[in-house]
Amino acid sequence: MTEPIRLLLVDDQALIRVGFRMVLDAEPDMVVVGEAADGHDAIARATELRPDLVLMDIRMPGLDGIAATEAIVRRHPQTRVLVLTTFDLDEYAFGAIRAGASGFLLKDAQRHEMIAAIRAIHRGDAALSPRITRMLLEHVTPTLGTTPAPPQASAIDDVTAQLTDREHDVFVEIARGLTNAEIAQTLFVSESTVKTHVGRILSKLGSRDRIHLVILAHRWGLVDDDALPSGS
């Protein structure tokens, strides 16, 4: 039997943590292993519990969710972070993406949206809709300190030359915002094959996660915003 997804809830409001716990513990493939009320506690609990995924509030007293996300991702690369925000244009949320979060979710999201986002991140996809991906590129790309300036065309060719033809195809589809399942359907391969390609692409391009690949592809001009699928 597959091990359940181990979750850490981080929010300064106890009632919100209780509500999330009730929803998530009801899922057969998820278990809440701990809670934290601020950023400092979140870092400590992540070190103690080593969760698969952290649901991270952004605006908290003391250490906020951005700093906590950066520390957790740096110290525990295997732990993913899904940030929670009240507004989809929240600059704090984009700050958390820059810090290494794998996606973000509105606090008023429907139950099925939260469950789907958690499962997507756990299996290696990014919890970002096409609309959010556009916003991410607009807000994050100009100030993404960990991403080098766009290289010249010849340098781009040298970088992407490391990829096989199929890996290049997968890279472009990732940049369009497709999930592994959608890429598999588009390229007529199995989802497990796509996951293998994604892992190799991350390694060859030195990217920390799928979102970083999206940003790189757009900065290098390998795909433009018009290539993103429509949707909310």
3-state class (DSSP) for residue 108: coil
Give residue-wise pLDDT tens across range 100-139: 888 888 788 888 889 988 998 888 777 665 556 666 666 6
Quickly tell me which residue has 């390229």 as its tokens: 187
DSSP code for 2: P
**Domain range annotation of the chain:** 5-127, 149-227
Task: Name the pLDDT band for 47 (thresholds 50, 70, 90).
Answer: very high
For residues 178 and 139, is the Cβ–Cβ distance under 8 A? no
**How many other C-beta atoms are found inside a 10 Å radius of the C-beta of residue 10?**
30
Task: Name the pLDDT band for 144 (thresholds 50, 70, 90).
Answer: very low
Which pair of tokens denotes residue 113?
């949206």
Give residue-wise pLDDT tens across range 175-212: 887 888 889 999 999 989 998 999 899 888 888 778 77
**Would you state the pLDDT for residue 33?**
97
Nearest to 127 by CA among 163, 93, 156, 154: 93
Quickly tell me which residue has 């934290």 as its tokens: 36
Which pair of tokens denotes residue 129?
């809709």
Query: Is 3.40.50.2300 the CATH number for 149-227?
Result: yes
Quickly tell me which residue has 């469950």 as its tokens: 115
Is residue 218 predicted with pLDDT exceeding 60?
yes
Quickly tell me which residue has 């950066």 as its tokens: 70
Minimum mean pLDDT among 37-41, 193-197, 219-223: which range? 219-223
For residues 214 and 174, is the Cβ–Cβ distance under 8 A? yes
Supply the pTM of this predicted model: 0.73
CATH homologous superfamily of 5-127:
Response regulator (3.40.50.2300)
Q: What percentage of residues in the chain have a pLDDT greater than 90?
A: 42
